[in-house]
Amino acid sequence: MSTSGQTGPAPAPGRRADAVRNQQKLLAAAAEVFVTSGVDAPIREIAAKAGVGMGTIYRHFPTRADLVVAVFRHQVEECAEAGPRLLADADSPLAALRQWIDLFIDFLVTKHGLAATPQPDSSGFAALHTYFLDRLLPVAERLLDAAVEAGEVRPGVQPYELMRGVGNLCVGAGDDPRYDPRRLVALLLQGLRLPGPS
């Protein structure tokens, strides 16, 4: 009889990495479906997009609220990690800011859908808002600062104001097919620009 205290072999590192990758793939697929079809989209649509069975989704996320919260966190992390990458790869800080705002808008679709999802643990859902601000405000600040330093954006815009403004424009969409929040966000970003030389 073993005295090491272990109850069985530890999972192989490769298997653990595969499980994480599979879960990330599932969350990315769910995020895409939520953006196009809303958070009430059928689970079978998400399963088909992810290339998994419905049982796999229910095994990881027993309720829709569990899935939406996991997608919310996944998208927050994607937005947070995208900021520095876009800043390094884009043609200009303003181009990076625009691309990041586009990702942020996709995220907001899920965030707003979250409000309509049954919330068994309201304190847990409230903690998501704090997590969202803690992760994304510094990224928005870095992108704005870079655009200001490059002379592309007027100084004095607060990252919270920008994120709140974009969020408010996205909320207005509702069920009105004539309302295009991306067009209005583009106008908002145009208003941030410093006028070029005449």
pTM: 0.76
Mean pLDDT by 10 residues, the chain (198 residues): 46 66 88 83 92 90 88 90 96 96 83 57 69 94 96 94 90 75 90 73
- In CATH, which superfamily holds the domain spanning 64-198? Tetracycline Repressor, domain 2 (1.10.357.10)
Both tokens of residue 117? 């999802």
The one-letter amino acid code at 77 reads E
> Under a CB-based contact definition with an 8 Å cutoff, are residues 123 and 179 in contact?
no
Q: What is the pLDDT of residue 116?
A: 55
CATH of domain 13-62: 1.10.10.60
The answer to whether the Cα torsion of 61, 64, 69, 72 is positive or negative is: positive
Give percent helix, percent strand, percent coil of the chain, each to the nearest 5: 70, 0, 30
Could you tell me the residue ranges of all domains in the chain?
A: 13-62, 64-198
Specify the pLDDT at position 32.
87
The predicted pLDDT at position 177 comes to 78
Residue 117: left if φ>0, alpha if ψ -120 to 50, beta else—which one? beta
Which two structure tokens, joined as six digits, stand for 39? 């958070």
**Among the listed residues 167, 140, 144, the one whose alpha carbon sits nearest the alpha carbon of residue 154:** 144
Task: Say if residues 109 and 35 touch (Cβ distance below 8 Å).
Answer: yes
C-alpha 154/C-alpha 104 separation (Å) is: 21
Cα-flanking dihedrals φ and ψ of residue 63, to 5°? -125, 160
Distance of alpha carbon 19 from alpha carbon 10, whole angstroms: 14
User: And the tokens for 191?
Assistant: 């208003």
Structure tokens at 24: 């990330």
